Structure 1
Amino acid sequence: MRFIAFAPMAALVLTGLVYSIQPGQATQRPMTPATADEICAPFLVGEDDDFERRRYRTSGVQSAPVGVAPLPPPAPPPAPRAAAESAADQAVVVTGSRRTGVSRVSPSVPYPRPQPQNRERYDGEAVASIMAVAEEPVSTFAVDVDTGSYANVRRFLNQGRVPPRAAVRTEEMLNYFRYDYDRPRDRTRPFSITTDMATTPWNENTRLLRIGLRGYDIDRSERPAANLVFLVDVSGSMHSRDKLPLVQCSMAMMADQLNPRDRVSIVTYAGSTKTVLTGSNDREEIIAALGRLRSGGSTAGAAGISLAYSAARANLIEDGINRIILATDGDFNVGTTNRDRLIEMVEREREAGISLTTLGYGTGNYNEAMMEQIANHGNGNYAYIDSAMEAHRALVQELSSTLFTIAADVKIQIEFNPLHVREYRLIGYENRLLAEEDFDNDTVDAGEIGAGHQVTALYEIVPTGSRGWLPERRYAANRAEARGGEGAEFAHLRLRYKLPGEDESRLIEQAIGRSAMVNARAPRGDMAFVTAVAAFGQRLRGDTYLGDFDFSDIRRLARASGRTGDYWRGEFVTLTELAEARSAPGGSGEGSKR
């Protein structure tokens, strides 16, 4: 017999959160996977443990995952249960206490699961081409603060698989980590700009140019009031520990960080849509409503988005934050399923001041192409939540970044001086490239930066006089002219952005001196870690320009950077080991050389 204790569940979640995070203060104890799981325990335990154990037992795995007590040999098949009892197993179970004698499976420790179908979809771009400065001296792109690709790659590797190349976006891997960029001095210029150079570990003839932006931070008390709509996919495919229960926990974590001035509505969709809660600022009421969600039915995602926008308009806060947060495991299979029509919808609502953030969960049905694109066009961000720990990072530690935009339509443009630079390539950002003329066009949509957000971009460049990637041209008229002179600059950096509520962009310009190239040394510190992450992403993408620089080289570079005692950086080192094992001949996946 099942029971649901909403009040104790809400109290336990709040207790765990208050113990780990106090309003306006730093974490009182280090957040660890075990601590995050403790916070999520009310949502993740119950009779579903038996469901997961049965799936684990039938998966063919010989050793139990970490955190799971080894199972005894399978008992003889039990007598068939009643149809009603079997059907009941299809519901998501949320209880306020743990069943006696059942060991809880840690949601942050992945384990193999049977996947009868894989309908995951990705929009991958080819590795960026080499550009000759004599022909294409200007590079322009929109900033990107999304991090979903890194968490999704981690999920693949933890499950024993090499991620599809189309699922790897190097810029999102770079932007997953924090770096020691200077804080902005003045909020009228909402972010600082850092540039530095190093020699390239995989190519003695090139140099690496890093461009880093850091947005100003705000205190929790400074953040404007927020009108949030939690849009939750409760279709049948969400019945899995890493889907609806993790969504419930993620949003409970977020709800506990909100201010009394904030309002939360909850909208669900499956075969039909439903408004579960409207404009509440009662944390326990919000958490209890999340706990009552159940999965079942098809996926009318577009209808859900439409209803969510209606709820957002009904509770609109002038000069406040108005945002929909969509949590789903995958595609829409009922109603409007055309991505272009969905993008048109979110663009219309974006102009009305309502933004859209997307959170991806689970496996097998995941349409990342849809998730990333509608978030980009909805002036929001996209994240993939694969554990309670990741939920805490994205929705508690980075709550202000997620909610409060400090600069909109941010574009970066760099012009290389042919006196000093022969060729270049931008590492990552392939799906964020803009035409040169788009930089000064304020009607062209670009990326948003939230409070405290960081953006990192990396160029690999060939100095003039060094051996490049491109062959010499046959005909003299097609060759770059020989150029002389020293010159003080090797590149000129320009940024455009709009302050919230403004339609006209502002411009920042900054020269990059030639001395940075002349004095470039082997990467160290943060630059070494940035370089390691970039190489990791590119290696997974099959980047041929890395030469023989392999996963072991990447791991050594990351360790040499220091700070690998940091949880997330230490985890990155572990992922390089997994990638090396998965990609090796005879490993569980196919990919790069060992």
Structure 2
Amino acid sequence: MMRGTRLAATAALCVVLASCAREAPGDLAQAPAPRAEKPAPPAPPPPPPPAYAAGDAMAVTVTGSRIRGGAVSAENAFYAAPVMVATDPGREKYDGKEVSPVKLTSAEPVSTFSVDVDTGAYANTRRFLSQGMMPPQDAVRTEEMVNYFRYDYARPKDRSQPFTVSTDVAKSPWNEGTYLMRIGLRGYDIERDERLPANLVFLMDVSGSMNSADKLPLVKTALAGLAGELGPRDKVSIVVYAGAAGLVLEPTSDTGKIRRALDSLSAGGSTAGGAGIELAYRIAEDNFIKDGVNRVILATDGDFNVGLSDTKALIEMIENKRDKGITLTTLGFGTGNYNEAMMEQIANHGNGNYAYIDTALEAKKVLGEEMSSTLFTIAKDVKIQVEFNPAVISQYRLVGYENRALREEDFDNDRVDAGDIGAGHQVTAIYEVVPVGGKGWIAPRRYEDAPDKAAAARLAEAANVKLRYKLPDGDTSKLIEQAVPSAALKTAALPRGDFAFAAAVAAFGQVLRGDEMMMGFDFADIDRLAGQQDNYWRQEFLQLNALAGSLKGG
């Protein structure tokens, strides 16, 4: 474990990170427990040899015809690790937003946003750092960094409400006089035998741009692993697209057939992405399972350069299919020409998830241990609205969620789409707030009005948190309300334990984004705040933070 020290050379830690990705076995890769994190188990024997190696020849180049057989086994596909080579990110596309501004409570007391359960920004940031490069600021979304990890939120006691709501307050570690207010949601778990039947269409990009070790071979690894998690009631189809789109595998529950079809694919041609999506949705419609999961899973580097490439038309089609009960998950792969802006945007409109797969271990995490939360929705159109009491809180800002912001009137409008929560999912949001009388970021105004009587009459409340959600088969939202007591500010100390780690990850994201309100908080400070960790994923975070510090020179 590297803590509080600067690395002698960037390359040394790159080797360490690559080794972790290759050597961390299945039991180390288990998703963290919903309660307190458990120590990592002893290192088991070395994993089997990779299923793919750079330069391996694939069995068939797809042109739209059906596939029979295949020469490469995917039985041990999760152990395949791509060779990550540093590339110029100049051609990659990101849709970064400005860091959320400070709000004066007297002028804007209400903050509204849609939940976000995507994690792609964290894995993509890890990819850049492990290649010895700082990620572009536009590629970092702090909420996805924070939500990559699990925290110690209480489980729902029953399913009358699909998730619990937790709030806590601590002093800000990076800004004297401000406080952090954390909101945490935790969905209920479902057992394997409770899962609804799934109709999944794997939509795979096999164009020429996917012809590298960290793209198509890793796609096969990810989807072969997901196939192994499915049951006899589930159906999988495979559609591919390159110069043309074609159905490679008709719906089947036979894991062997699925893996043989995956084995047989190779890359070549241009990228008719739009035609592939249209065909995938037709297959999903033809095999629609009423009261089940119907989802297209798109695996690509996002390089849509032929066919339906108009983003507006693509989004309209995806929203139309979403309203008919077919959702969309996007899995991003590769470097150089990666179009993350497209991947994240269409997943949001498709009521699915966006994840970036940079290693075989990440594939196992996203599509193995976390499959329930990835595929099985327990609440949809989940919105959060926080109203701050101007008699208690003078200023605030939301850390992250810039591209999930909603208008105040959107909260009560059931026609406005928002994010979904899957089984076992967690969602974390952090506000930084300034109590009345504190210095804050914005100087007092000469002609500012005093808080009105309604605010003064509720001095015991610092804020009121409201959530709206719909059940998966519902059209009318339900409301949850929970007040944050003012006393929480008076008794707050610096964050500890679980909260401290969440704050450290949030700080990591904001520092990478160049947030000027971090007041000089640096990677060494983040390391101290995070503290010692005994969970694999959290230990990896500490390594990434150390690597970022060495690259930044501080």
TM-score normalised to structure 2 length: 0.87
Do 1:37 and 1:388's aligned partners in 2 also have CA atoms closer than 8 Å? no
Q: Deviations over 1:79-108 (max 9, x none)?
A: xxxxxxxxxxxxxx96359xxxxxx9x865
Partner in structure 1 of residue 483 of structure 2: 511
Q: How does 1:102-121 map to 2 (within 5 A)?
A: 108=81, 111-113=84-86, 118-121=90-93
Kindly state the Cα deviation for residue 312 of structure 1 after the two structures are TM-superposed: 0.3
Kindly state the Cα deviation for residue 514 of structure 1 after the two structures are TM-superposed: 1.2
**Match of residue 48, structure 1, among 36, 43, 56:** 56
Do 1:472 and 1:479's aligned partners in 2 also have CA atoms closer than 8 Å? no
Identity of aligned residues (%): 57
Q: Deviations over 1:139-164 (max 9, x none)?
A: 00000000000000000000011111
**Match of residue 378, structure 2, among 377, 397, 406:** 406
Partner in structure 1 of residue 469 of structure 2: 497
Asked if 1:388 corresponds to 2:357, the answer is: no
Q: Which amino acid aligns with 2:139?
A: A
Change (3 A) 1:436 1:127: same
Partner in structure 2 of residue 231 of structure 1: 203
Kindly state the Cα deviation for residue 512 of structure 1 after the two structures are TM-superposed: 1.2
Change (3 A) 1:131 1:227: same
Partner in structure 2 of residue 260 of structure 1: 232
Partner in structure 1 of residue 34 of structure 2: none
Partner in structure 2 of residue 583 of structure 1: 552
| CA distance in 1: counterparts of 2:476 and 2:458, whole angstroms | 37
Change (3 A) 1:33 1:172: farther
Kindly state the Cα deviation for residue 340 of structure 1 after the two structures are TM-superposed: 1.1
Asked if 1:160 corresponds to 2:168, the answer is: no
| CA distance in 2: counterparts of 1:261 and 1:428, whole angstroms | 39
Q: Which amino acid aligns with 1:363?
A: T
Structure with higher RCO (Cα < 8 A, 6+ apart): 2
| CA distance in 2: counterparts of 1:288 and 1:123, whole angstroms | 37
How many aligned residue pairs are there?
507
Kindly state the Cα deviation for residue 336 of structure 1 after the two structures are TM-superposed: 1.3
Do 1:128 and 1:426's aligned partners in 2 also have CA atoms closer than 8 Å? yes
Partner in structure 2 of residue 570 of structure 1: 539
Q: Which amino acid aligns with 1:265?
A: S
Q: Deviations over 1:217-268 (max 9, x none)?
A: 0011100000000000000011111100000011000000000000000000
| CA distance in 2: counterparts of 1:428 and 1:46, whole angstroms | 38
Change (3 A) 1:429 1:174: same
**Match of residue 162, structure 2, among 190, 195, 200:** 190
| CA distance in 2: counterparts of 1:264 and 1:565, whole angstroms | 37
Secondary structure of the residue aligned to 1:334 is coil
Kindly state the Cα deviation for residue 487 of structure 1 after the two structures are TM-superposed: 2.1
Q: How does 1:112-151 map to 2 (within 5 A)?
A: 112-113=85-86, 118-151=90-123
| CA distance in 1: counterparts of 2:352 and 2:362, whole angstroms | 18
Partner in structure 1 of residue 22 of structure 2: none
Kindly state the Cα deviation for residue 112 of structure 1 after the two structures are TM-superposed: 3.1
Change (3 A) 1:114 1:199: closer
Partner in structure 2 of residue 553 of structure 1: 525
Do 2:390 and 2:451's aligned partners in 1 also have CA atoms closer than 8 Å? no
Asked if 1:415 corresponds to 2:415, the answer is: no
Secondary structure of the residue aligned to 2:176 is strand
| CA distance in 1: counterparts of 2:47 and 2:293, whole angstroms | 30
Do 2:27 and 2:41's aligned partners in 1 also have CA atoms closer than 8 Å? no
Partner in structure 1 of residue 288 of structure 2: 316
| CA distance in 2: counterparts of 1:565 and 1:94, whole angstroms | 40
Kindly state the Cα deviation for residue 126 of structure 1 after the two structures are TM-superposed: 0.4
| CA distance in 2: counterparts of 1:19 and 1:131, whole angstroms | 42
Change (3 A) 1:17 1:463: closer
Do 2:207 and 2:268's aligned partners in 1 also have CA atoms closer than 8 Å? yes
| CA distance in 2: counterparts of 1:536 and 1:328, whole angstroms | 28
Kindly state the Cα deviation for residue 539 of structure 1 after the two structures are TM-superposed: 0.1
Q: How does 1:180-579 map to 2 (within 5 A)?
A: 180-474=152-446, 476=447, 478-480=448-450, 487-559=459-531, 562=532, 564-579=533-548
Secondary structure of the residue aligned to 1:362 is coil
Do 2:72 and 2:264's aligned partners in 1 also have CA atoms closer than 8 Å? no
Asked if 1:95 corresponds to 2:68, the answer is: no
Kindly state the Cα deviation for residue 38 of structure 1 after the two structures are TM-superposed: 3.9
Q: Deviations over 1:349-395 (max 9, x none)?
A: 00110000000000011111100010000010000000000000000
Secondary structure of the residue aligned to 1:204 is coil
Name which one, 1 or 2, has greater alpha-carbon Rg. Answer: 1
| CA distance in 1: counterparts of 2:348 and 2:90, whole angstroms | 25
Do 2:87 and 2:336's aligned partners in 1 also have CA atoms closer than 8 Å? no
List alignment gaps of at least 5 residues for structure 2.
1-24, 31-38, 58-69
Do 1:33 and 1:388's aligned partners in 2 also have CA atoms closer than 8 Å? no
Do 2:169 and 2:488's aligned partners in 1 also have CA atoms closer than 8 Å? yes
Change (3 A) 1:581 1:466: same
Change (3 A) 1:376 1:114: closer
| CA distance in 2: counterparts of 1:537 and 1:253, whole angstroms | 30
Q: Which amino acid aligns with 1:238?
A: M
Kindly state the Cα deviation for residue 583 of structure 1 after the two structures are TM-superposed: 1.4
| CA distance in 1: counterparts of 2:46 and 2:398, whole angstroms | 37
Do 1:33 and 1:108's aligned partners in 2 also have CA atoms closer than 8 Å? no
Do 2:40 and 2:535's aligned partners in 1 also have CA atoms closer than 8 Å? no
| CA distance in 2: counterparts of 1:572 and 1:206, whole angstroms | 26
Change (3 A) 1:19 1:580: closer
Kindly state the Cα deviation for residue 48 of structure 1 after the two structures are TM-superposed: 3.4
Secondary structure of the residue aligned to 1:313 is helix
List alignment gaps of at least 5 residues for structure 1.
1-15, 22-28, 50-92, 98-103, 585-593
Secondary structure of the residue aligned to 1:299 is coil
Do 2:162 and 2:379's aligned partners in 1 also have CA atoms closer than 8 Å? yes
Q: Which amino acid aligns with 2:56?
A: D
| CA distance in 2: counterparts of 1:108 and 1:46, whole angstroms | 10
| CA distance in 2: counterparts of 1:32 and 1:393, whole angstroms | 19
| CA distance in 2: counterparts of 1:20 and 1:386, whole angstroms | 14
